Amino acid sequence: MPFESPSMLSIVQDLDLRFCAETPDHAAAIEGICAEAFGPGRFTRAAERVRERVPHDPALSLVALLGGEVVGSVRQTRVAIGGVPAVMLGPLAVRPRFKKRGIGRTLMAMAAEAARLSGERAIFLVGDRAYYMPLGYRPLPVGSVTMPGPVDEERILGLELEPGAWVGVSGLVGPRL
Ligand SMILES: CC(C)(COP(=O)(O)OP(=O)(O)OC[C@H]1O[C@@H](n2cnc3c(N)ncnc32)[C@H](O)[C@@H]1OP(=O)(O)O)[C@@H](O)C(=O)NCCC(=O)NCCS
């Protein structure tokens, strides 16, 4: 599935980057990038508790490739919050050498578009407001989204893919029934 758009052309030309949906061939490289970015502590995160129960969806997950090498990755998982479908985004990571060139925000934009095109209405993540709010994410009401593990609720951020998609959504994050 190719993901390219005119707004990303300058990055693509500068770096000979390509963005595509994740395939099984990318798994080992993504694991390496996440180990480099988050260290062993990544396995203790609340989001990891969700991903243990619900595998991420490769069709909603993207890699940035430079000369065939994976230099960035974003994954998304189809979950439910109190029974309402939503997408959980993460992890997002870019190889240190390739940071600050727009790869992260390009992966984020493409992830949102892939989710929207597949019929999803809302995405959430646990992350830094300073990075994600300029990308359209907004804090969700504290207490509305319950993760299966400790999390700083101020860091739970949501993106509407349809207006009003977050209204009244509340409950435990888990598998869809
Ligand atoms: C966060 C990350 C994916 C951004 O990737 P990237 O390709 O460098 O992102 P972009 O090029 O789109 O944006 C870079 C900008 O975001 C800023 N930024 C990066 N991480 C940030 C953070 N946590 N909070 C605020 N700003 C951040 C950079 O300083 C840079 O700012 P500048 O454009 O003013 O120089 C990358 O830094 C990374 O892999 N970090 C380690 C893993 C991580 O923290 N993932 C996010 C989990 S919440």
CATH for 106: 3.40.630.30
Q: Which of 17, 63, 94, 97 has most ligand 1 atoms within 8 Å of CB, for mutation?
A: 94
Determine, yes or no, domain membership for 155.
yes
Q: Buried (b) or exposed (e) across 140-166, using 16+ Cβ within 10 A? A: beeebbbbeeebebeebbbbebeeebb
Q: For residue 53, give its domain range.
A: 6-174
Residue 176 is classified by DSSP as: -
Nearest CA to ligand 1 atom 9: 104
Backbone angles phi, psi at 42, to 5 degrees: -60, -30
Q: Nearest C-alpha to atom 7 of ligand 1 is from which residue?
A: 104
| Residue recorded with tokens 């061939």 | 25
Tell which residue, 87, 107, 110, has the closest CA to residue 158: 87
Q: Which residue has its alpha carbon closest to ligand 1 atom 31?
A: 100
- Which residues form ligand 1's pocket by a CB distance below 6 Å? 37, 92-94, 99-105, 127-128, 130-131
Expressed in angstroms, the distance from the first to the final Cα of the chain is 28
Does residue 61 lie in a domain region?
A: yes
Ligand 1 center from residue 102 Cα (angstroms): 9
| Ligand 1: nearest atom to the Cα of 101 | 11
Is 1 inside a domain boundary? no
Identify whether 162 is part of a domain.
yes
* Domains contained in the chain, number: 1
* Pocket-testing residue among 8, 75, 107, 131, ligand 1, by greatest number of atoms within 8 A of Cβ: 131
Task: Give rounded-to-5 percent helix, strand, coil for the chain.
Answer: 40, 30, 30
- 159 in any annotated domain: yes
For the chain, 177 residues long, give each residue's pLDDT as a single digit of tens.
445 554 555 555 556 899 999 999 999 999 999 999 999 888 889 999 999 999 999 999 999 999 899 999 999 999 999 999 999 999 999 999 999 999 999 999 999 999 999 999 999 999 999 999 999 999 999 999 999 999 999 999 999 999 999 999 999 999 999
Atom number of ligand 1 nearest to Cα 93: 39
